[in-house]
Amino acid sequence: MTKRTAIIVDDEERSRRVLKSLLSSFFPETEVLGEASNVDEAYELINKKNPQLVFLDIQMPRANGFSLLKKYEVVPFEVIFVTSYDKYAINAIKFSALDYLMKPVEVKDLTEAMDKAGKIIDLKANRNIQMINLLNAVGHEEKLRKIAIHEGDFVKLVDCDHVVSIEADGSYCHIITDQNDRFTLAKYLKDFEDYFGESSNFIRIHKSCLLNLKHIIKYSKGEPCIIEMSNGQNFEVSRRKKQEVLERLKK
């Protein structure tokens, strides 16, 4: 049985106690090296103990769990996020292909997360690309959000404000920018909708396309409804979506 080392970061003592008990009962090979109740304590503890795995609460006083990760240029441990329901944070974590547990933690969910984390640790895989993706997703102001595009050994961060359109192509999506740069990601259109959230500037005009409202320069009110974008692209709005799109444009 492979030994693991971990720490638990959560401002709620009861939550730390429950998770530690579950790990002791179901994952005795995992040694909990310590606990922290805030980001500063966690940072000091991690640098002292060098754990392989960190259970990280998202909602904490003064600084949230993401603030801890931002202290590292390369995150030197595997992370399993622990959170109460936070739709935005969960969508960002899922979009970045990282693992999370909902409070109260269930044994089944913990088992799945531990299995995934164990494989990553054994492979000594670097998940920094996913972390970059996540940390650029959790800026509270939309203008700070970026999309991480993987290009070989590098990650290109594309500012969402420069994205004009996102078009679905099976299990992939093509992203077109205001400079007509084209990038392809292995994501569904729904993943982007969840990532941006309901209040974003992106709107679906038919089943396979999202447009950035900031880049719409002209549209026709008749049939068909044609939208012209700042980079010269033109799109036809589906009849089913026309009323919704026109109402958003009027606002």
- 238 secondary structure, DSSP code: P
Averaged confidence pLDDT in the chain: 86
Q: pLDDT band for position 58 (50/70/90)?
A: confident
Provide the pLDDT for residue 88. Answer: 66
- For the domain covering 158-250, report its CATH number: 2.40.50.1020
148, HSE (Cβ side, Cα atoms, 13 Å): 20
Q: pLDDT band for position 125 (50/70/90)?
A: low
pLDDT in tens, 158-207: 888 899 999 999 889 999 999 999 999 888 898 888 778 777 889 999 99
Provide the pLDDT for residue 142. Answer: 45
Domain ranges in the chain? 4-135, 158-250
Look at 129 and 13; give whichever has higher pLDDT.
13
Q: pLDDT band for position 126 (50/70/90)?
A: low
pLDDT in tens, 66-110: 889 888 888 889 999 998 866 667 777 877 768 889 888 999 999
Query: 231: burial class by Cβ within 10 Å (0-12, 13-18, 19+)?
Result: middle
Pick the CATH number of 4-135 from 1.10.3720.10, 3.40.50.2300, 2.60.40.10, 3.40.980.10: 3.40.50.2300
Provide the pLDDT for residue 60. Answer: 82
Distance CA 110, CA 102 (A): 9
Provide the pLDDT for residue 35. Answer: 97
Q: Contact 80/30 with Cβ under 8 angstroms? A: no
Q: Is the pLDDT of residue 143 over 70?
A: no
Provide the pLDDT for residue 140. Answer: 47
> What's the first-to-final CA gap in the chain, in angstroms?
60
